Amino acid sequence: MGGLGNKWTLEEHFTTDEANKYWNSAAESARNGKALTEYVEFSLLDVDERLRLMDKTGIERAIVSLTSPGIQSISDAATAIRLARETNDLVRAQYVDKHPDRLSMFACIPTQDPSEAAAELDRAVHDLGAVGVLVNGYTNVGDAQTARYLDHPTFAPLWAKIAELGVPLYLHPREPLPSQTLIYDGYPSLVGSAWGFGHETGTHAVRLMLSGIFDQYPGIQIILGHLGEGLPFLLPRLEHRLDKQREGVGLGNARRKVGQYFSDNFYVTTSGHFHTRALFNAISELGVDRVMFSADYPYETMEEACAWFDTALLSHNDALKIGRENARRLFASTIR
């Protein structure tokens, strides 16, 4: 085993047989091919293979989370509440309790009902040992064509609970609403992780920056995967143009510039974006203390993620921070 050992990873996914009933992989299979889809479906359910690969690649701890589109795609609130609770109980019993030194969990929550989401997050953190929460993008409310983003006023109880608990929220991608995919017409491979994920999630993050949430709760921390969903490169241009338009409409309730929120309230991980120049760009915009290693297993392989990171042209101190120490600091109150 070469490179940095004892790495921590934060965007590593699982599913359950029950959760699989509420979404199907037909579209994913069509885009990715049958072999890849079958590998992912097996790996999302298998714990032993996950641990074997962690040992092989020098990953000490992984924080696991329910795969996209997750609870957020279930339009019936009662079903979402039940499934979130069952899933959190299962991952605690089947992953964390059996491997407490290797696996931790992000809670999944029923954002269809923000008060119930806050209550389930509280239970997951206090009773199950969840180290934070992962939300798979917007929430379907009522039907599959209706999206509610996390800056919506109804999410006030959830943000208050996140601030109270002091745990981070990982904002994970999902595909855009079917009604919002006209620009991808004829190119279905662009809808998901190749392109649509980043555009959808980066815009969601900007909505949070403009909403005033971080002025109300300045300590809240958001994690973005894929080296920030393009924001380290795009935010300077956004900030420049918003400043030019400061007397216009639709600028939200933000009291500061978007770049300040990005620096103070966001972390990024390397999940699924194994490119050293992009990593350096993220470091230059955010600072090395706000970048963390991740693989995005099983959609990406631990072998590829670690082979890249372990040979990236980083100083030893920066590799330690990104590979482990930044995550240790962020989760110091929940992982000991």
The secondary structure element, H or E, covering residue 205 is helix 196-211
Neighbours of 98 (CB within 10 A): 12
User: Roughly what angle, to the nearest 10 degrees, separates helices 231-244 and 276-286?
Assistant: 40
Non-local (6+) Cβ contacts of 248 within 8 A are: none
The secondary structure element, H or E, covering residue 78 is helix 77-91
Residue 227 is classified by DSSP as H
Would you say 120 and 81 are in contact if contact means Cβ atoms under 8 Å apart? yes
Exposure string over 99-132, b if 16+ CB within 10 A, otherwise e: beebbbbbbbbbbbbbebbbbbbbbbbeebbbbb
**Catalytic residue selected from 89, 97, 122, 296:** 296
Distance between CA atoms of residues 220 and 226, nearest Å? 20
Residue 221: closest CA among 279, 163, 160: 163
Give, in degrees to the nearest 5, the angle at Cα 15 between 10 and 16.
145
Find where tokens 């290693």 sit: 293
Give, in degrees to the nearest 5, the angle at Cα 183 between 181 and 187.
85
Which of helix, strand or coil describes residue 266?
Answer: strand
Distance between CA atoms of residues 98 and 26, nearest Å? 32
Known catalytic membership, residue 310: no
Distance between CA atoms of residues 153 and 145, nearest Å? 20
Residue 107 is classified by DSSP as B
List, by residue number, the catalytic residues.
Answer: 296
